[in-house]
Amino acid sequence: MDTSKSLVISGGTITVNSEGDGLDSNGTLTISGGTIYVSGPTNSGNGALDSNGAMTVSGGVVIAAGSAGMAQVFDQSSSQSSLSYTFTSVQQAGTTITLKDASGNDIASYTPDKQFQNVVISAPELAAGQTYSLYCANSLVENISLSGTVTSVGTGGMSGGFGGGQRPGGGRRG
């Protein structure tokens, strides 16, 4: 899904199965509601979420799984917390990702159709200072304490929409 101005999602259920960038905006990307699942891309030249401008989330549930090389996180100016997790190795297609709260309740769960090495999760239940458990294929991967509005764990990827950062090598894409 590629937009040249802005992409605004305020409700509904959206499932993206992408070879290139998943949700792709050459302007801003704003999510205020709905349930969004993104599977793909598998090559490191694209990301499950891609915005050349601000990328904010204020509501809804987002689970975006894809390659790690160009993975982007939501901006710190978002009013809803999010987590970006980069695995040390590629996870196979059909592997279920589940994030649970400290009581063991599911916050978000998704089974991507493609292999992935990074996942970005945002949900209204996420809060800074709280600890969550990330599972893959029903096996605990890591207990993660959210340090702020945006928490990134692991290596690789990009920080924020391109209003606040640049791709490796400098310059904006577009």
pLDDT digits (tens, 9 = 90+) for 33-63: 999 999 988 888 889 999 999 999 999 999 9
- Please check whether residue 41 is in contact with residue 66, taking contact to mean a CB–CB distance below 8 angstroms: yes
pLDDT score, position 154:
87
What pTM was estimated for this model as a whole?
A: 0.86
Close Cβ partners of 52 (under 8 Å, ≥ 6 residues apart): 25, 26, 27, 161, 162, 163, 172, 173, 174
Task: In whole angstroms, give the CA distance from residue 10 to residue 162.
Answer: 22
Residue 84 pLDDT greater than 90, yes or no: yes
Report domain extents, the chain: 2-153
pLDDT score, position 162:
39
pLDDT score, position 2:
52
Task: In whole angstroms, give the CA distance from residue 135 to residue 76.
Answer: 25
